[in-house]
Amino acid sequence: MGVTFEKKRKIFHLFTKHFSYYIHVNKYNYLIHLYSGKYLNDISKERVSERYMERYAFLNDEKKETMDEDYYFSFVASQFEVAPFGKGDKRNSPFIIEGENNTPITNFLFQSYKIIKGPYSKNKYPLPHVKFLSSDVTTLIITLKDEYKEVYLELYYEISEKFDCLIRFSKIINKSSENIKVKKLSSFELDLPSSNYNILALKGTWGNDTEVEMIPLNHSLTKISDNHGGRGFYFNPSVALVSNEASLDSGEVYGFSSIYSSDFSYEFKVDEIDQTRIIGGYNEETFEYLLKENEDIYSFETIIVYSNKGINGMSQLMHNLIRKRILPSTKSIQKDFILLNSWEGFYFDFDTDKIISLVDEAKKCDINLVVIDDGWFKNRNTDTTSLGDWEVDNKKIDLKKVINYAKNLGMKIGLWVEPEMISPISDLFKEHPEYALIPEDYKHPTLFRHQLVLDLTNPKVIDYIFNKISKIFDEYDISYVKWDFNRYLTESYSSFLSTERKKETNYRFILGTYELLNRFNKKYPNILLETCSAGGGRFDLGMLFYSPQIWASDETDITLRASIQYSKNIFYPLRSIGAHVSNRKIGSIQDKACLAFFGTFGYELDITKLNEEDKKQIKFFNSLFKDFHHVVEDGDYYAIFSPFKTNYVAWNVVSKNKKECLVYFMNYKKEQTKSRFLKIKGLAPNKYYFNSLTSDIYKGSFYMNVGLNLSCPMDPYFSALFVLKEIDDIRATIFRKTKQVDGGKRDKLM
């Protein structure tokens, strides 16, 4: 069992083989955080809790001053599991509730606990979540009650030995007779006894969707958050706390990833004695929730992993859990598709003949899925009109003819949609302007990309849009859908919601999106769904709960794409990262394919205009996809060179059985000869591997400790994808004696 409770000392221990998390219920019924980190089989609450700061003092029932005589509890310095708000702890608090008297003092105290073998039942849980099996986890539920109100807080801890992770979320229940406002609701609080860390965050903007940013902790409040209501490029809802001594492969790293697609917040606060508090939850800037009697609300779930094997160790823990327990089980259809998207080839300018010619050329190049992007529905020849109408433009394209033509060739057809949006120039807006997300009597709503957002807080709108798109997928044999979301929320105060619930708009909007996605998946389980948000603007675990892959970025130039994918790889499994070969200027088809191979892999160009050599390259990489992409999909990922620290970007992925390894390398600016060795990671040290780059065979220990000698001149944007494949000892010995050039001269490395 992964949870124990020692009654005498009132200590909870949550643990896996590698990780421990200790909580103490002190004599005042505060939850005190004792320890989190490398597995620890014993702890002293006294030695850990000692803080020689101002002691706890209060007026007792007789109105006399009472002073705690020990140094084991201090509002100023103790490490809390749930810090109060408005009391002596003036650091940030994870929960703030306000009664009808508008007093927001919040002080949750321990009441009871329950330990469950298996996960908490999610039957009534309205948000995406980790889909644990009963054998995966043990769950601790701690119930607390507010000191002043009949309001209860439930803390959930799902600890998994199998996946070496902790899942945190919470629920607030109003059992009082008055209405309360939940002003701040968090998934977790984690207090650490040191400030010896940097925050690893993923920042970005359109076209440069994800970049690694290392932010030093400091004594002011550092907040990593988003308030866009969805399409937020600026910060991603996955972050890490990296110790100052840590590297890619060693040192302590805490990883946090929120299973949510709207406004989140991570707060990092270093106190006056250099302790660090981390709080993750809803962004209180755009969140407030009314709870009436006997109503409740959950936070979203946050995954917490701990690694003492550096950033790569943290990445592997995240990837394994996400692949097995968050992504929808569509691998059987996902793995077979190599797709070609029409957008960068045609944009809006296509017809039946053009799409059929695209299908013909795709077939010749062993591509088996052609996606018709924006422009297939009525009056949609620019991006200014018709979102929400969703009827096939039969004058522009005979969709059934295209589908039947593709089917006769053994191929599939996919479509682009943007269900959450509405164009002011549309039949839907003329008939139902109230379906748009605009406050009552608001005269000049903001447009982005010539469009507004549908009010998905309104069940009628959800029903309308689902029924509308269902007519398309019921009538036409579609195998893939690209679900886009091209603008963020503004003026997001729903005219559908009552005045007292206006501030719930962003939260209720994303619940509406999840409802749409859930309905779609249930009705069309055999359609491969890929979400998108003007590129990678909504790349998070909430979306990955419904779609097994997300378009990583609208920027497909390898110079930026390499850093975008490197950054996303830190938290998200490579099989979830939508990556295509495009017609951008920099790099050959081969250069682009080497990078796209380490994602979902596909194409974004007009294949009918390529020369024969390019088509030959496409066929070669498609063959490589069939032989080796399973390593990308399920293998262990290791970053080697960071593009934010070096002139190179490199990583490798090793199959679970360590028999195969794929390596990616790209050089940025031109360099002459310099000493440059690429050390591969994660191989079996005593196994022989054939290296497709140099046609050599060496043991894994050689590749890992010496590495591949790349000490040669390099042109800008030189790219390479190569394979290391295990060879049995006999074949390796024969090859090394007869063909290996160790004793001879190599004319050229590459």
Beta sheet of 222-225, edge-to-edge order:
186-192, 276-282, 264-270, 222-225
d(CA 512, CA 508): 6
Name the pLDDT band for 740 (thresholds 50, 70, 90).
confident
Number of CB atoms found within 10 A of residue 455's CB: 26
DSSP notation for 25-94: E-TTS-EEEEEEEE--S---HHHHH---SSPPEEE-TTS-EEE--SSS--TTTPPBSS--BSSS--S--S
Q: Is 389 a catalytic residue?
A: no
Phi and psi at residue 126, in whole multiples of 5°? -85, 5
Tell me what pLDDT residue 332 has. Answer: 55
Q: How confident is the model at residue 694 (pLDDT cuts 50, 70, 90)?
A: confident
Q: Looking up tokens 């606060």, which residue turns up?
A: 269
* 86-95 confidence digits (pLDDT tens): 999 999 999 9
pLDDT for 745 equals: 56
If pLDDT is split at 50, 70 and 90, which confidence band does 733 have? confident
522 to each of 28, 328, 461, 516, 527, how far by Cα in Å? 49, 11, 19, 10, 10
Mean pLDDT value across residues 66-85: 91
Name which of 75, 511, 19, 484 is nearest 255 in CA terms: 19
CA distances from 460 to 42, 64, 417, 455, 546 (A): 56, 59, 19, 9, 22
- Would residue 271 show up in a list of annotated catalytic residues for this protein? no
| Residue 746 confidence (pLDDT) | 57
Average pLDDT for 427-436: 97
Q: Are 392 and 472 in contact (CB under 8 A)?
A: yes
User: What is the pLDDT at residue 734?
Assistant: 80
User: Which three-class secondary structure string do you get for 468-508?
Assistant: HHHHHHHHCCCCEEEECCCCCCCCCCCCCCCHHHHHHHHHH
Give me the residue label for tokens 């597995």: 39
Closest listed residue to residue 291, CA positions, set 177, 170, 169, 146: 177
Q: Identify whether the C-beta of residue 83 lies closer than 8 Å to the C-beta of residue 93.
A: yes
pLDDT at position 707 is: 96
d(CA 102, CA 181): 9
* Proportion of the chain above pLDDT 70, given as a percent: 98
Which domains, and CATH codes, for the chain? 3-325 (2.70.98.60), 331-419+466-492+529-630 (3.20.20.70), 638-738 (2.60.40.1180)
The rounded mean pLDDT for the chain is 95
pLDDT of residue 743: 58
User: Residues 136, 484, 591, 634: which is the catalytic one?
Assistant: 484
Cβ pair 163, 320 in contact under 8 A? yes
Candidate from 133-142, 239-248, 713-722 with smallest mean pLDDT: 713-722
CB 707 within 8 A of CB 677: yes
Could you tell me which residues come within 8 angstroms of residue 102 by beta carbon, excluding any fewer than 6 positions away? Answer: none
Is the predicted pLDDT of residue 415 greater than 60, yes or no?
yes
What are the tens digits of pLDDT across the range 212-227? 999 999 998 999 999 9
Bin 702: left if φ > 0, else alpha if -120 < ψ < 50, else beta.
alpha
Place of tokens 């009436």: 292
Q: pLDDT tens, 320-376? A: 999 999 999 865 566 679 999 999 999 999 999 999 999 999 999 999 999 999 999
Residue 302 has pLDDT above 60, yes or no: yes
Angle between helices 589-596 and 612-634 in degrees, nearest 10: 10
pTM above 0.85, yes or no: yes
Average pLDDT over residues 109-130: 96
Query: Residue 11's pLDDT is what?
Result: 98
Q: How confident is the model over 478-535, as pLDDT tens digits?
A: 999 999 999 999 999 999 999 999 999 999 999 999 999 999 999 999 999 999 999 9
Q: Give phi and psi for 299, each to the nearest 5.
A: -80, 170
The tokens for 608 are 């009918």
Average pLDDT over residues 393-417: 97
**Which residue among 89, 271, 455, 554 is the active-site one?**
554
User: d(Cα 414, Cα 405) in Å, to the nearest integer?
Assistant: 13
Per-residue confidence band for 269, with pLDDT thresholds at 50, 70 and 90: very high
pLDDT given for residue 186 in this prediction: 98
Strand partners, 531: 483, 550
Q: Name the band, by pLDDT with cuts 50, 70 and 90, for residue 749.
A: low
